[in-house]
Structure 1
């Protein structure tokens, strides 16, 4: 009954609303990247504020304050970096399922609202004692991760359901390219905040003042701004026509929503036969997700897609979130460097990598994905990743 509507969506010419959908859906991924990748420089600030190096802990009582070498233990860094990723694994499963049951628009708004509240809560982190701060920060980072991955699959789904057939790959790749801009934005905000606090500080350049405890909180809370803006913009958009027509089985409402946002003649989307205004009771699916029939028809594709995404995420998140440890020669953690300067160095290095590799890589994909195909461009991506990591890893000690 909805074939005419779906054909019109697939054949619709590129319009302003397509680009608006890219920005709105992409801002979700922009916020995701900001929230995930602002943590490495923040961990440097936290180390200067709350930790003394364990090698010097016995001498702290006799050493001058400015010579005490402060660093965050590796176990703490790894935990706070990874706990948000643990939340993302939970969020994808929960919100992905909810998106199919309650609708993309409603669940997307729920995940964005969760991101706003969690970002603000991360900044407050309840108290100022070390253990309390770290435990509460970890808890709220986990909730933030849940919201982030609720947004992640829904952003791609929303764009795919608004896009036409000819440029669907480029539009979805453009949505994901906002992640590179989010990494860059987190680095810029960190550098600006650190520079402002450093200029206003009266402490010696080698010391980290008490006000630094406010700086990292400000950086985290800034992540609530794009999430709140995205929430407002998304609530102004209608539900996707594909969801309304196929899942809710309300083709009339889908046609009305489509006409609101796309310049398509009603004659191209109005069905020939009368259709009920109220959606009928949906029948049970012909076969459930975890069934032999589903696995036989879609199991191989699902496994291959999930496996390649798993492999790329292992590389992407480990190298980006732990790059201050990997490229330590470029980010020297010396006694005479205060927390502001150290966090600034980490953020600057992240910005350089985002500008020189991450962002160009996204836009190369946007340009070529509908020209050479999804499989070929993915194979090229993995090939270049392998070459780069061999080039870094084999002569690592030398460089």
Structure 2
């Protein structure tokens, strides 16, 4: 049986959509804009790094990063992100969402700039320095996941909460798009300049000193959007759910939300004391009660996010290799390094514009109508289908007459990732756990996802490159490693579809209803059994 909720929380649950909702979406969303730009811009410049730092004078082909170095450069930020999600998620429940929010943003700004200033006397030291700063960049990015999701969920109303949280996450799409567009602009500017006679160079090596500026500029610009929103993050009041249910400060919660909602809200210190003393609000993360109430929830959110990110980040990070394998991007030896950056950025921007960004906003539009479960299940199913459609007749798609069809199919996997589990795995953990554990559990779920991203970056990326090289040396067609990776990713998506059945549906319910924080005691003084373990299939 559900008990009566606090007036301040009821006011938030039934509030009409107001300006502060959009302010919160923009302020939190710009963090995700920055996150996506910083995480994915590295894939635009990895081939350029290989040309600059690993070209052998007199070699007949452009230089490229060794597979282990490429995997490290692409994946080290995910290691930092995983650590940051666990640390800042825990810290957000201990110190409050607002106090921790500014720390993550400043760390992202500093490390974006530092990544572009990576130094060293030889290629190894430059790559080591770059990896060091990108680890700490990822650490800051990691904190943005649980804090942004938790803040938005605790500010939103019941009716449109899913859309608001998804809108914050949808800013990732614009971040990916912005990275591609900026790389196109900068590489075009460099290319136009270096076509002058004074800059004529060997198109294979293309290691003019100015080319070293290109990747540094692309990485450093990631600091700008985060800096622009720092002031507004610091102006946001702490969420009422943290202030009331965790800090137990009734007067502050009522005062903050009265100002935000522009209504008079009564402080209820006695009710807060009664509510927070209930057994339903006393158990810890490692207790049997948490395992009983939310164990399957946490298993569902962690496994689905883990499986989704294996596929999603693998696709993003080695899409340049896929486009090269099917011939959509010309062979490196036919163009200089700056032109190669331009072509990679153009391809990724097209994918983002046609599938990634629309997918995010389809989720925003439909999540509170269809529900989280239906969208996630549909997304995993469609990703599974398209992966196998691409992989099984892979040789058919590599024919030059069928490349457009391949790109279209590949784009649809991104569309259904974002109109599917990539959005819902972010939304649900911010809705189903108690306020005192919400940020921590979201951080654990997100960290599980980044573990999947690490598997994708270090595993699939490394194996695809090595297998392609080994098969090419043995006379097999190019891209066989990519084909096998697509098959494995199809299986991964199918498993994600199965584990989705562990995740509860939170559409139209208050956060306290989902977490059981406002449950009344039964006649013998025990909290009723919580029954939000499974989703309604019908």
Aligned residues: 382
Match of 1:105 among 70, 87, 98: 98
Deviations 1:161-188 (A, max 9, x none): 1100110011111111101111001111
SS of the counterpart of 1:239?
coil
Match of 1:374 among 372, 375, 378: 372
Tell me if the contact between 1:190 and 1:347 (Cα under 8 Å) persists in the aligned partners. Answer: yes
Match of 1:350 among 329, 348, 351: 348
Tell me if the contact between 1:2 and 1:251 (Cα under 8 Å) persists in the aligned partners. Answer: no
Match of 2:309 among 308, 313, 317: 313
Offset, 1:398: 2.3
Structure-2 change in CA distance of 1:274 and 1:96 (3 Å)? closer
Structure 2 counterpart of 1:161: 154
- Where in structure 2 are the equivalents of 1:1-399 lying within 5 Å? 3-52=6-55, 57=56, 60-61=57-58, 68-127=61-120, 129-201=122-194, 202-204=198-200, 206=203, 207-263=206-262, 265-266=263-264, 269-271=265-267, 286-328=282-324, 329-399=327-397
Offset, 1:214: 1.2
Deviations 1:164-218 (A, max 9, x none): 0110011111111101111001111111111122222242372342111111111
Deviations 1:271-306 (A, max 9, x none): 366899xxx99x996222112221111000110111
Tell me if the contact between 1:35 and 1:223 (Cα under 8 Å) persists in the aligned partners. Answer: yes
Q: Give distance in 1, aligned partners of 2:269 and 2:129.
A: 58
Q: Give distance in 1, aligned partners of 2:118 and 2:375.
A: 43
Q: Which moved more, 1:237-246 or 1:67-76?
A: 67-76
Tell me if the contact between 2:51 and 2:64 (Cα under 8 Å) persists in the aligned partners. Answer: yes
Q: Give distance in 2, aligned partners of 1:271 and 1:99.
A: 24
SS of the counterpart of 2:113?
helix
SS of the counterpart of 2:213?
helix
RMSD across aligned positions (CA): 2.2
Q: Give distance in 1, aligned partners of 2:250 and 2:193.
A: 60
Tell me if the contact between 1:26 and 1:178 (Cα under 8 Å) persists in the aligned partners. Answer: yes
Structure-2 change in CA distance of 1:273 and 1:252 (3 Å)? closer
SS of the counterpart of 2:334?
coil
Deviations 1:21-46 (A, max 9, x none): 11111111111000000001111111
Structure-2 change in CA distance of 1:272 and 1:70 (3 Å)? closer
Deviations 1:306-348 (A, max 9, x none): 1111111111101001111122121233223111111111111
Structure-2 change in CA distance of 1:334 and 1:273 (3 Å)? closer
Offset, 1:69: 2.0
Tell me if the contact between 1:169 and 1:366 (Cα under 8 Å) persists in the aligned partners. Answer: yes
Q: Structure 2: which 5+ residue stretches go unaligned?
A: 398-538
Structure-2 change in CA distance of 1:249 and 1:216 (3 Å)? same
Deviations 1:77-132 (A, max 9, x none): 11111111111111110000000011111111101111011111101113353111
Structure-2 change in CA distance of 1:273 and 1:290 (3 Å)? closer
TM-score by length of 2: 0.68
TM-score by length of 1: 0.91
Q: Give distance in 2, aligned partners of 1:273 and 1:79.
A: 52
Structure-2 change in CA distance of 1:391 and 1:150 (3 Å)? same
Tell me if the contact between 2:82 and 2:142 (Cα under 8 Å) persists in the aligned partners. Answer: yes
Structure-2 change in CA distance of 1:198 and 1:273 (3 Å)? closer
Q: Which moved more, 1:229-238 or 1:87-96?
A: 229-238
Q: Give distance in 1, aligned partners of 2:282 and 2:344.
A: 52
User: Greater relative contact order (Cα 8 A, min sep 6): structure 1 or 2?
Assistant: 1
Structure-2 change in CA distance of 1:272 and 1:295 (3 Å)? closer
